[in-house]
Amino acid sequence: METKSPALERPRAVEMAAAVLMFTPVLDLIMMQRTGVAVLNWVGWVSVFGAGLTLMIRHKLSWVVGMILCGIFVVSTLVSLFKGFGVVDPAISTARVLDCLLVLFIVGTVFSFFRYPYLDRRQNWFAPTGDRFVVVTPVVLNGKVSGETVDLSYTGARISVPEGVESFKKDQLLTLVLSEINDIQCKAKVIDVKDKVLRIHFDGLSSSEKDLLRQWLGSQNLQKT
């Protein structure tokens, strides 16, 4: 019943959007040199470039910062738009509106990719994510359902359960026993269900149990996913 754990997929649309954001100030500077008029102000330049830079980093905190910077860009550009209404060239106002719409579209795109398999939802907001290893070891769920891990880390696991057992749902809380790893017992939350494979996050592991799990994983010469 071994199932290979799929690697995270590259969010290519987000990477392309980030590149567009980072190149936007360059285009504006080129336009300013040729026409003497800039579409964006310095706040817009800094925020849009920073948004592109942070969106290049595939981490949920970095993406949140990127979306916040996009919001700052939109607000700054709209302020410039209203201040210059009826004063600046209509072409500049139109360009500012289009810039805002483009950035809002990019924010929507990033939000749609803010999930597995593009981001690992086990990531901590500030600390590094625990390494995940391909390992098959028996587990018992809710004291009665036997399954096997597909991959395992000290923060969670993917577990394959047989056909015909009780149905598990996202956000369901359950109990779990790792019977071959010192009978470690803990609570867990189901964060994803796909084709009888549960992605769960451990809850209630003590520091000593986490250390035990880390040591066990480190001693098995396992392949990382």
- Per residue of the chain (225 residues), give pLDDT as tens: 333 334 567 788 999 999 999 999 998 888 888 877 788 888 999 999 999 999 998 888 889 999 999 999 999 999 988 887 777 788 888 888 999 999 999 999 998 888 767 776 556 666 555 677 888 889 999 888 888 998 888 888 889 988 766 678 888 899 988 888 888 888 888 888 888 888 888 887 777 887 888 788 877 777 676
φ and ψ of 200, to 5 deg: -125, 155
For the chain, domain boundaries: 12-112, 133-224
* Terminal Cα-to-Cα distance of the chain (whole angstroms): 18
Q: How far is the C-alpha of 146 from the C-alpha of 162, rounded, in Å?
A: 8
d(CA 80, CA 48): 15
Among 221, 218, 139, CA closest to 181? 139
pTM summary value = 0.59
How does pLDDT run across 171-200, given as a tens digit for each residue? Answer: 889 998 888 888 888 888 888 888 888 888
Neighbours of 60 (CB within 10 A): 16
CB 55 within 8 A of CB 14: yes
Domain 133-224, CATH number (from 2.40.10.220, 2.30.30.60, 2.70.170.10, 1.10.510.10): 2.40.10.220
